[in-house]
Amino acid sequence: MTMENNELRKAGLKVTLPRVKILQMLDQADQRHMSAEDVYKSLMEAGEDVGLATVYRVLTQFEAAGLVERHNFDGGHAVFELADSGHHDHMVDVDSGEVIEFCDPEIERRQREIVKEHGFELVDHNLVLYIRKPKKKD
Amino acid sequence: MTMENNELRKAGLKVTLPRVKILQMLDQADQRHMSAEDVYKSLMEAGEDVGLATVYRVLTQFEAAGLVERHNFDGGHAVFELADSGHHDHMVDVDSGEVIEFCDPEIERRQREIVKEHGFELVDHNLVLYIRKPKKKD
DNA sequence: ATGAATGCAAAAACTTTGCATGACG
DNA sequence: CGTCATGCAAAGTTTTTGCATTCAT
C-alpha cells in the first residue's frame, strides 16, 4: 500500500485513481504551489485523464481534510500546496517570481497577541513579503 | 475646485464624472473596504449612472496611480480601500466579514530583519489575520 | 477638434454544479 | 451491489475587452 493511499484513508476519503494521482502530482511537481489549472495540465501531460472539475472538487476536499492549503495570492486564482511540512509564510521575489518559505516565531507570537488584545481568536493568517535583490542603482 | 478633482489631477488622470463619483463614494461610504460590485451598487442607489466595467477600469487606474489599494482577501473578489491613511494591515472576522485595521511596529521591524537576513530588501508586504469571536462551545 | 473615457454587451478567466455513467469497498 | 466519485457540459462569478459614442481639454 502506497503512502498516498494511507494519507487518503486517514483523511476519510475513498481511495480513487484521480485522488491518488492529484496527491502524487502535488508531491512530485517541481513547483510547490500549484493552481487547479496547473495540476490539471500536469496530469494531462503525464497522460492521466482527469477532468478539470474533478481536480477542483478533489483539491477542495483535500483542503477540508487538511491535506493541502489553499492560498489566495495576488492574481485572481487560488494556489494549493501540500500541508506536509509545518506552517510557514512566504516571500515572493517580485523580479524572478521565486517563492521562499519561512516561519518566524516572533511574528507568529505577536500575531496571536494582537488578536487577543482585540478580543478575538486567531483562525488563520496570511503573510506574504514581496522582496527584491538589492541593487546599487535603481 | 473640489478635493477629488485635485487628487485626480495630481494622479495624472483626466477629471471625469465617473472618476469623481467613484472617488467620493470610496471616501464617504460607511465601509472602508469595498468591492467593485459594492461601489457599483452604491452608485446606482445614489442615482449615479456608471457602468460596472467603468468601475473596474477606474479602480484599476486608481490602484496604478496609488490612490487606492487592492486587497485579495479570501472569498474570490478583490476589495479596494482609499490610500489616504498610512500603511496598515488587516484582521478579517471570518464570521461577520468585518475588517479591522492595525499596524504593529514589532511585526513590521521583524519583517525587514527577516528579509535582510535572506539578502533581500522588502518591497511590500501583505498580512491578513483571519479571526473570530471566541465561543465557549464550538 | 482630438484624443481619451464611457457604456454596453460580449468574452474571458476561474470555479461550481447537475446529471448520467462508472468505480470503490 | 449500493453508494459515492467522476466526467462532461452547462451555468455561475468575477473581471476584462471591443467598439461605437460621448466627454474633457
In terms of domains, do B38 and B99 share one? no
Per-residue pLDDT, B138 = 55
CATH code: domain of residue A109 = 3.30.1490.190
Q: What is the CATH number of the domain that holds B27?
A: 1.10.10.10
C-alpha B134/C-alpha B10 separation (Å) is: 45
Kindly report which listed range (A64-73, B60-69, B128-137) carries the lowest average pLDDT score: B128-137
Is residue A11 classed as helix, strand or coil in its secondary structure? coil
Q: What is the pTM of this model?
A: 0.87
**Residue A42, exposed/middle/buried by CB under 10 A (0-12, 13-18, 19+)?**
buried
B39 pLDDT tier (thresholds 50, 70, 90):
very high
Would you tell me which residues have their CB within 7 A of strand C? Answer: A 14-17, 35-37, 52-53, 56-57, 60, 76-78; B 13-14, 16-19, 49-51, 53-54, 57-58, 76
Say how many C-beta atoms besides its own lie within 10 A of residue A67's C-beta: 24
Q: Which residues fall within 8 angstroms of residue A38, CB to CB, at 6 or more apart? A: A29, A31, A79
Calculate ∠ Cα A83-A89-A92, nearest 5°.
115
Residues B61 and B9 in one domain: yes
Is there a single domain that holds both residue A29 and residue A68?
A: yes
A44 and A74 co-located in one domain = yes
Domain co-membership, A9 together with A61: yes
Computed over every residue of chain B, the mean pLDDT equals: 92
* pLDDT of A60 strictly over 90: yes
Instruction: Name the residue range of residue A78's domain.
Output: 3-82
Q: How far is the CA of B13 from the C1' of D23 (A)?
A: 14
SS3 B78: coil
3-state secondary structure (DSSP) of residue A101: strand
